[in-house]
Amino acid sequence: MTKDQTKDQTKEPAVALRAATRSYGTVRALDGIDLTVRRGETVALLGRNGAGKSTAVSLLLGLDEPDGGRVELFGGTPEQAVASGRVGAMLQEGRATPRVTVREVVSFVARTYPSPMPVAEALALAGLTDFAERRVGRLSGGQAQRVRFAIALVGNPELIVLDEPTTALDVEARQEFWEAMRGYARRGNTVLFSTHYLEEADAYADRIVVLDAGRIVADGTGEDLKRAAGGNLVSLDLAGSPTEWLATLPGVVSVEIRGDRARLRTEDSDATVRALAARDAIRSLEVTRASLNDAFLTLSHRTRERLEPAR
Ligand code: ATP
């Protein structure tokens, strides 16, 4: 049976974490994660430092085991999926031997897989055709990153897992990298990547999963996240008037005062604006959509509040 037939005959998701936990000493790096990634999806794991992203990636690749719960790739164990070449990974560390050429290193890795893609194709997908004969030690950081991408791709995997793939790349190299990743995803493959960069998650993923303190605090599109974090921002000039009452207005979730200007995050901007109008307090009023950045900060704060109740 060919790999493609296997792919069609099974309906299991590419990735399934079920109540997965992993602790290191007293640190609960993953605290009961349920996550399903369907085949063909591109999903971003977004979170601050220490949120649990790398731990999740390690469990998915079978590099580490959960203390509780289950981890499945294509309905089997991560070890089975990795051994059969269905998963490619690009981890944070690792630089190939400096003296060999790009083509040599990718060819070497290709030979370790049961049904690799042609080396030239992997090089083209990773944007390395022009650097194929260059020694790995002579590459720029961005080019070296693409070699790691080619290595992850050349086994012709159905799922690719990328742990912070664009760290330390400049804007142009980042864009080139994501174009390459898109080319791979367009073939119907599944991509799971971790990142600190909200814009990347929003631009390149079908779905964003926000991790914080080992838990999933949001799961959806960028738009869903903005809604979940509490809709809009209303800002107005205070002109020296008192501010305590602003927090009691309908819909208002939080109040931030900067100089003479107040910034209200609200779940119901219509109600907030009506209440402001009733108090004749509409000076230089502005209503804007919360940014993804605002949403991320709000969602992460909520977890912290939950974990650290007021004393
Ligand atoms: P970053 O964005 O900084 O890479 P992350 O979201 O990938 O962070 P993890 O590396 O998964 O986070 O770490 C989650 C938590 O588990 C952190 O508090 C970290 O210090 C802890 N941790 C991870 N690996 C180990 C380990 N091998 N031993 C002890 N603690 C660990």
The residue to mutate among 24, 193, 216, having the most atoms of ligand 1 within 8 angstroms of its beta carbon, is 24
Convert the pLDDT of each residue in 162-191 to its tens digit: 988 887 778 888 888 888 889 889 999 999
Output the CA 102–ligand 1 centroid distance in Å.
Answer: 32
Give the residue, by CA position, lying nearest to ligand 1 atom 27.
24
Q: According to the model, what pLDDT value does residue 156 have?
A: 92
pTM (2 d.p.): 0.80
Whether the CB-CB separation of 132 and 100 falls below 8 Å is answered with no
Output the CA 198–ligand 1 centroid distance in Å.
Answer: 20
DSSP per position, 275-296: HHHHTT--SS-EEEEPPHHHHH
Output the CA 78–ligand 1 centroid distance in Å.
Answer: 20
Q: According to the model, what pLDDT value does residue 230 have?
A: 67
Output the CA 29–ligand 1 centroid distance in Å.
Answer: 6
Output the CA 54–ligand 1 centroid distance in Å.
Answer: 7
Q: According to the model, what pLDDT value does residue 311 have?
A: 40
Give the residue, by CA position, lying nearest to ligand 1 atom 17.
50
Output the CA 86–ligand 1 centroid distance in Å.
Answer: 26
Convert the pLDDT of each residue in 37-66 to its tens digit: 999 999 999 998 899 999 999 999 999 999
Give the residue, by CA position, lying nearest to ligand 1 atom 10.
54
**pLDDT at residue 306 above 60?**
no
Q: According to the model, what pLDDT value does residue 150 have?
A: 92
The stretch 203-232 carries a mean pLDDT of: 87
DSSP per position, 147-203: HHHHHHHTT--SEEEEESTTTT--HHHHHHHHHHHHHHHTTT-EEEEEES-HHHHHH
Give the residue, by CA position, lying nearest to ligand 1 atom 21.
29
Convert the pLDDT of each residue in 215-229 to its tens digit: 998 899 988 887 777
Give the residue, by CA position, lying nearest to ligand 1 atom 11.
52
Ligand 1 atom nearest to CA at 214: 14
Output the CA 111–ligand 1 centroid distance in Å.
Answer: 33
Q: In the Cβ-directed half-sphere of 211, how many Cα atoms lie within 13 Å?
A: 29
Whether the CB-CB separation of 131 and 176 falls below 8 Å is answered with no
Residue 153's closest CA among 186, 126, 130?
126
Q: According to the model, what pLDDT value does residue 237 have?
A: 92
Q: Which residues form the pocket of ligand 1, taking CB atoms under 6 Å from any ligand atom?
A: 24, 27, 29, 47, 49-55, 196
The residue to mutate among 23, 30, 53, having the most atoms of ligand 1 within 8 angstroms of its beta carbon, is 53
| Domains with residue ranges and CATH for the chain | 38-65+76-219 (3.40.50.300), 230-289 (3.30.70)
Convert the pLDDT of each residue in 70-115 to its tens digit: 999 999 999 999 888 899 998 776 666 778 999 999 999 999 888 8
9 or 39, which is more confident: 39
Q: According to the model, what pLDDT value does residue 303 have?
A: 57
pLDDT category at 2 given cuts 50, 70, 90 is: very low
